[in-house]
Structure 1
Amino acid sequence: MDTRSLQLLEFPKVLGYLADFAVSVPGRRAAVALTPLADLERLSERQGLLAECLELHRDAVFRLSEFPSLDGLFESLGGESVPLDLDALFAIQAVLIQAGQAREALAPREAPRGFPETARPLLRQMAEAAPVPKKTMAALARCLAPDGGLRDESSPELFSARAEIRAIHRRCTRQVKDYVQEQGLSPFLQDDFMTISSDRYVLPLKSNFKGRIPGIIHDYSQTGETCYFEPFFLVEVNNRLQELKKEEREAEAKVLATLTLLCRQEWEALLASYRLLVALDVLFACAALAEATGGVIPEVGANEPVRLPGARHPLLILGRAAGAGVVPQDIVLEPQHRALIISGANAGGKTVCLKTLGLLALMAFSGLAVPAAAGCSLPFWRKIFVFLGDEQSLEDHLSTFTAQIRHVSRAWPQVDGTTLVLLDEFGAGTDPAQGAALAQAVVDGLLEKNAWLAAATHFPALKAYGLSKPGVRAACMLFDPAGKKPLYRLAYDQVGASVALDVAREHGLPEEILERAHRYLLLEGADSTSILDRLNELALRKQEELDELSVQKAEEKKKTARIRERFEKRLASLLDEVREASREISRSYQEGRLGRKQAQKALAEAGKRLIEEQAATDPGVADAAKPAVADFESLTPGDAVHLQSWNKSGRVLDKDLKRRMLKVDMGGVCIWVDARDAAAPSGGDTRPGGGGWSVKSDPEPSGRSPVVPSFVLDLRGRRADEAVAELAVFLDESVLKGRTQLEIVHGKGTGALRREVHDFLRASPQVASYCLAPADRGGDGMTMVELA
């Protein structure tokens, strides 16, 4: 990625804010060093890690605390065998302890109850990929004491030396106390306790009494009033103490050397644990930045469109309290567009739109969330070139125009179909006609290279170009027609006026100069203000209507969701009530309080109540469930029909006008069915000859009661035990739904399945009677059941 573009888009400032969210010095360094990725697969992995980290951050499952930097330490570990000091070992231990906590949180050895094994798989894989320096961790835990030193148990030599040193201290304390009491030295001492000077036990003696007691003076206090005096009886003890101190130092040095050797042996695992913490620190910082900016993770791919609804410049959000006053922009390019030409007033937000597009692309390609609404996406641009503002240079003898041309010329050979180019006022600084022509030519060349482009301009020719050129979309920054102030809103398929005179008036230019400028415009015939004002007014009205429709759509969506939620709750409650009622009826039947027919009637009434209340709760359910049936009179042999009860399609062979029945061929099986069970087949008219037949709602013939449609269970191909189990469930459901007539298709075959079905029906209390079907409706292959 072009480093000059990163600077112009102020990407390092975003990384600076990101670094502020890191908890450690190495984390902050890694955050500042973050760069856009050139590999789409790596970017997808980083986005997946960020998504999981956002979830982890919101759930507050794990939080990192500050840990020390080990960068310089790893350099010393890779060198000569110089032992590490205690500070370095404590720093290593702090990193390993927190790395262990991170592993346990991200890849627990035993997942908590309700915690799926596949939760946060990328973070789990990241944690498991870092090997654990087990020997080093165990050794540091055994040797390092909480007070910042080595434990006595670090080695037998150290334990022995320290134990003897403590014994000497106790012996010295006792001897000095006895000596002071025997000699009556309390008036001569500055304090009533023994102290240490030059690493030897001494007494704080008042200086004016130093000649009265035999011994050695080691030092004086700053005031000179106290001398540190070693009586002769302590000399031998102090000499032994010095030997033990030397033994202690040697034992400590051996322990440090051993610990350093372990660190060198497990250097790679130690480095992996450290890198795991640094990577997690950066990820948590990315998650915190996403929450601070209201960011979402965009879809990035070679064929993704430019779609950034509700995009906001991150530096404007982070630089203000909770992003107050930052107007979101919908930066959108349709699939047929490759370029965006933005026009509008000075200081109206054109450059901010360009920078927002470029900066959000850099953030997205770096694995960061972008401050935009959900559903955002971007093509995977591998190069971004930015040409913004006044780039003149006195040192390089470059004017504004020549600086622009030089930068574009240098970047031109690298531009291809994976490039985004941002042009701000390109062609300015020279003759307007020639500058506009040059700008149009550059845009043509970029489109021929299949590059992506966003440009801001004041050239009228380039504005017209944006409206007329295929593959280019025009947009303008809206402004208030009454107050002539920018609204910082982007409207598409419009061009905007520069309103230079209004901006000059707003910033205090004298009115007489503005009047003279207006007269010059009228003389040159270049005043198109009224036309552009009208266009702006229409664009503003259109945008307001779109905003209103968007709000209404969101409200309707919420309202529908609330209604659906209430319906589902009510339906669940009804189902619970019917289940409980059915259980009570079954218990009453089993206990003999209800007869078979009474129980079946009660179950049927419960099912009927469920259907009625469900239809009352959601009227659309009843309407949707009611099938559209064929007009019986218009049906002729050969017409295709779909039988609702069988959920199969067939063709009409014959009609019984008296009984209003149809003889239908379903794949070689011919059956008679009620006309109201026949509906239009999916896919429209399939009747030979192209004839049509009408579909109508289910009217009842005058003077006739509704015919309950047959309900069919097909058991062909089942084993006997499977068929009986399925039949039991089917009978229960039929009773609950108020069915009275059933058809059980078991096929002919050897007759074994038919016998099993009949044995079950004979013993079932729900069945009033059953018989084989007539020959024209299946014969021995189907049993017709009448429920009680």
Structure 2
Amino acid sequence: MIFFEQLEYTKIKELLVQECQSEPGKTVASKLQPLINKKEIDHKLKLTSEIQECLKNRIYFNFENVSDVVGLLRNFHHQTYNFEEFRKIYFNISAANTLKKRIEKLEDYQNFYRIVEDILILSELEKRFNEIYFTDGEIKDSASSQLFSIRKRKKEMRKRIVSSLNEKIEDFASSNFLFDKVVTQRDGRFVIPVKEGSISFVKGIVHGKSASKSSVYMEPEEVVGLNNDIHILESEEKQEIFRILKKFSDDIQHSKKDILKNTEIVKQIDFYFASARFAIRLKAEKPKIAEKPYLNLIEARHPLLIESYDDYKKVIPFSLELGKDFKLLLISGPNTGGKTVTLKTVGLLTLMALSGLLIPAKTDSTIGIFPEVFADIGDNQSLENAMSTFSSHMKNIEGMVSKGNSNSLVLIDEIGASTDPEQGSALAQAILEKLVEKNVAGVITTHYTALKVFAEKTRGCMNAAMQFDPEKHLPTYQFKLGLPGNSFAIEVAAKLGLDEKLIKRAKELTGNQNVELTELLKKMGEEKAELARKNYQFSLKTSLLDQKISEHQDK
């Protein structure tokens, strides 16, 4: 979805994919989506929060060797698996067994405990793999008693052959028939190197010449029978190994449903551990989930900024409530002042929470369920489709207006921009009026004064501002609810080094009307807040007076 990209939800998924240890876990992360079922969301949040506590209490598990074995188990068309295939299956079995064996340590984490409880421990398969294989893939003598016996006889037979050939070498030492006094092998048979001119003096079978052509490899007739016996034992050995691996493959196939079920649990746990590690880096906490479309973010921070700065404290938090006293929030303020970051944070934290991820905001924060989230952020100009920036924005907004309802969340950056300011402002107000009519929840950023006036006088709307330090001519990135903000475009331009003459001329041309109007709106907002405070105090005093009158009458 386009708004996943705009809100940088896809970047969160990419970070989670990187954080997962196993390929199956990475697949789970890549398929992450926001949910609309409160029970399911709550379960995921609780589980991630519990695993976060596990990590803090130094309870770790390793999933690096877990892999996708679905194809190996379901599409098995051979008589046996090879070592690499056995090892993949073994690692999955071992990871699941390790989780289940340590279940007693998880008793304080109920949701995590219940998931691990569903794992069926497969100790015999794990044990059997270790009985059969060395770590390099060689088959152990102890894989079966029959294999042990065969290899023991092979070893004894080799000793007899080598001993016999060494005696032969000693016999030939004085005759100068040998090219070298060593016992070697050719084509699996024990031989000795004889000088080419001495072949007729040594009875036996020739097995080829050396690379230099100066010697031949001969199998003396005394060891032909013994070499034949070794070949028979090697054949028996291969048959026994095949039997062992065939039996082990059949055992695995017999348990494939349990292995696949366990692997499904393990890959989910790998993902939850990745989510928990990510949450620890962000200092993220578990929000409350509300059935209704409502937001209450307390000291919220943008997760990707935390990642970028690698310092939680460098990211300035904000608090925001949407859906109680008002449903449309209009944020104004200076360029580079944090409007877009605030907008993205609202959308991104909503998507994260609905996906079961912990968010960098206080634990009392509440995220409501929004079945549909719409966003129009940034430049979506399409050269391929000959679509201008303005056309692209209008296409996105048309979808919001036509599909949006009281359960939707709408996020629009610089509404009505990228066109004539007067017409853009008028169009933006018409869009806002429609969103108010449809009772859509939303956060919108703007520089248009007319929209600030609209938000001030329209029920269900609220102004907010990103603060600016007029003395330092710098944005403070502080979010303030209830008052509109100045754009301070000229001041920002001056701070960025634009020519002083241009700055002076711009001030002459702009006049003070917009600034004065914004200041007037601020004053109105402050007066409204003061009136509300006095009204609350009056109501409180009236209530106390009524209580005293009632107590007096009772006497």
TM bucket normalised to smaller = 0.7 to 0.9
- For 2:341 and 2:72, locate their aligned partners in 1 and report how far apart those are by CA, in whole Å: 45
Secondary structure of the structure 1 residue equivalent to 2:311: helix
Match of 2:50 in 1: 52
CA-CA distance at 1:149 after TM superposition: 3.0
Q: Which residue of 1 aligns with 2:87?
A: 90
Cα drift, residue 255 of structure 1: 1.8
Task: Report the alpha carbon displacement of residue 25 of structure 1 after superposing the two structures with TM.
Answer: 2.5
For 1:225 and 1:465, how far apart are their aligned partners in 2? 104
Q: Does 1:254 align with 2:238?
A: no
Q: Give the partner amino acid of 1:22.
A: C
Distance 1:488 1:262, change over 3 A: same
Q: CA deviation at 1:216?
A: 4.8
- Contact preservation (8 Å) 2:301, 2:316: yes
Name the counterpart of 1:64. 62
2:440 maps to amino acid: A
Q: Which residue of 2 aligns with 1:12?
A: 10
Alignment partner of 1:34 out of 21, 29, 32: 32
Amino acid at match of 2:406: G
Letter in 1 for 2:44: R
Task: Output the CA distance in 1 between the equivalents of 2:335 and 2:175.
Answer: 91
Q: 1:166 to 1:99 in 2, by over 3 A?
A: same
After TM superposition, give the deviation of residue 238 of structure 1 in Å: 2.3
The answer for the alignment partner of 1:25 in structure 2 is 23
Cα distance change on mapping 1:519 and 1:207 into 2, 3 Å? farther
Q: 1:690 deviation in Å?
A: 3.8
Distance change in 2, residues 1:83/1:313 (3 Å): same
Query: In structure 2, what is the equivalent of residue 446 of structure 1?
Result: 435
**Is residue 124 from structure 1 mapped to residue 113 from structure 2 by the alignment?**
yes
CA deviation string 1:522-577 (max 9, x = no partner): 3xx645269649959x99xx9xxxxxxxxxxxxxxxxxxxxxxxxxxxxxxxxxxx
Structure 1 residue 684, shift from structure 2 partner: 8.9
Q: Deviations over 1:749-779 (max 9, x none)?
A: xxxxxxxxxxxxxxxxxxxxxxxxxxxxxxx
1:528 corresponding residue in structure 2: 515
1:484 aligns with 2:477: no
Q: Residues 388-410 of structure 1, C-alpha deviation per residue, up to 9 Å, x if partnerless? A: 12222232222222211112223
CA distance in 1, matches of 2:21, 2:96: 14
Corresponding residue of 2:330: 341
TM, length-normalised to structure 1: 0.62
Structure 2: distance between partners of 1:324 and 1:221 = 75
- Distance in 1, Cα, partners of 2:162 & 2:273: 55
Q: 1:159 aligns to what?
A: 148
Look up the equivalent residue of 1:17 and give its one-letter code: L
Counterpart Cα distance in 1 of 2:426 and 2:144: 84
State the one-letter code of the partner of 1:84.
Y
Cα offset, 1:208, TM superposition = 9.1
**Counterpart mapping for 1:268-347 below 5 A:** 268-303=257-292, 305-323=294-312, 325-333=314-322, 335-347=324-336
Q: 1:530 to 1:252 in 2, by over 3 A?
A: same
Task: Tell me which of 495, 498, 507 is aligned to 1:506.
Answer: 495
Do the aligned partners of residues 299 and 159 (structure 1) sit closer, same or farther apart at CA in structure 2, a change above 3 Å counting?
same
Where is the helix percentage greater, Structure 1 or Structure 2?
2
1:430 to 407, 415, 419: 419
1:136·1:266 contact (CA, 8 Å) conserved in 2? no
Indicate how the Cα distance of structure 1 residues 36 and 684 shifts in structure 2: closer, same or farther if over 3 A, else same.
Answer: same
Within 2, Cα distance between the matches of 1:210 and 1:507?
A: 96
Question: Hey, what does 1:103 align to over in structure 2?
Answer: 100
How big is each residue's C-alpha offset from its partner over 1:91-126, in whole Å with a ceiling of 9 and x where there is no partner?
Answer: 222221221111122x33xx7xxx8x5x21211111
Alpha-carbon distance change, 190 to 122 in structure 1, aligned in 2, over 3 angstroms = farther
Distance, in Å, in 2 between the alignment partners of 1:441 and 1:388 is 19
Contact 1:186 1:192 in 2 (8 A): no
Q: Distance in 1 between matches of 2:513 and 2:553?
A: 66
What do residues 680-718 of structure 1 show as CA deviations (whole Å, max 9, x unaligned)?
A: xxx99999x9463xxxxxxxxxxxxxxxxxxxxxxxxxx
Once the 2 structures are TM-superposed, how far is the Cα of residue 288 of structure 1 from its aligned partner? 0.5
Unpaired runs of 5+ in structure 2?
A: 530-546
Residues 348/99 of structure 1: CA separation in 2 closer, same or farther (3 Å cut): same
Q: How far apart in 2 are the matches of 1:332 and 1:192?
A: 92
Deviates more, 1:13-22 or 1:358-367: 13-22
Identical-pair percentage: 28
Secondary structure of the residue that 2:314 maps to in structure 1? Answer: coil
Partner of 2:357: 368
> What do the CA deviations read for 1:573-599 (whole angstroms, capped 9, x no partner)?
xxxxxxxxxxxxxxxxxxxxxxxxxxx
User: Secondary structure of 1:528's partner?
Assistant: helix
Cα shift at 1:304? 7.2
Report the Cα distance in structure 2 between the residues aligned to 1:91 and 1:495, rounded to whole angstroms.
Answer: 60
Specify the alignment match of 1:74 in structure 2. Answer: 71
2:191 touches 2:220 (CA, 8 Å); kept in 1? yes
Secondary structure of 2:411 counterpart: strand
**Rg: which structure is higher?**
1
Please say if residues 48 and 122 of structure 1, whose CA atoms lie closer than 8 Å, have aligned partners that are also in contact: yes
Q: Find the counterpart in structure 2 of residue 662 from structure 1.
A: none
Does the aligned pair in 1 maintain the 2:463–2:483 contact within 8 Å?
Answer: yes
The answer to whether the 8 A contact 1:90-1:144 is kept is no
- Contact in 1 for aligned 2:449/2:514 (Cα 8 Å): no
The answer on whether the counterparts of 2:96 and 2:119 sit within 8 Å (CA) in structure 1 is no
- Of 473, 476, 486, which residue of structure 2 is paired with 1:497? 486
CA separation in 2, counterparts of 1:224 and 1:332? 92
Measured in 1, the distance between the counterparts of 2:176 and 2:280 equals: 71
The reply to whether residue 200 of structure 1 matches residue 189 of structure 2 is: yes
Opposite residue 95 of structure 1, the aligned amino acid is N
Give the distance between the partners of 1:84 and 1:17, measured in 2 at CA.
35
Asked if residue 148 in structure 1 is aligned to residue 137 in structure 2, the reply is: yes
SS across alignment from 2:335: coil
Query: Per chain length, whose mean CA-contact separation is higher, i.e. which structure has more relative contact order (CA < 8 Å, sep 6+)?
Result: 2
1:530-609 mapped onto 2 (5 Å cutoff) = 532=519
What letter is aligned with 1:97? S
Match of 1:644 in 2: none
Query: Using the alignment, how far apart are the partners of 2:520 and 2:474 within structure 1?
Result: 12
Cα deviations across residues 45-89 of structure 1 (Å, max 9, x unaligned)?
111211211111111123224214133x53453343442112211
- Secondary structure of 2:375's counterpart equals strand
TM-score (norm 2): 0.87
- What is residue 403 of structure 1 aligned with on the other side? 392
Residue by residue over 1:173-201, the C-alpha shift from the partner in whole angstroms, topping out at 9 and shown as x without a partner, is 32223222333289987887544443333
TM-superposed deviation, 1:151: 3.4
What is the distance in 2 between the residues matched to 1:317 and 1:104?
A: 37
Whole-angstrom distance in 1 between the partners of 2:179 and 2:19: 55
Cα separation, partners in 2 of 1:357 and 1:230, compared to 1, 3 Å: farther
Pairs aligned (count): 535
Partner SS for 2:224 = helix
In the other structure, the counterpart of 2:232 is 243
Q: CA deviation at 1:232?
A: 3.6
State the SS of the aligned residue for 2:113: helix
Q: 1:413: Cα distance to partner?
A: 3.7
Moved more, 57-66 or 276-285: 57-66
Deviation at 1:387, TM superposition (A): 0.4
**Matching residue's letter, 1:363:** M
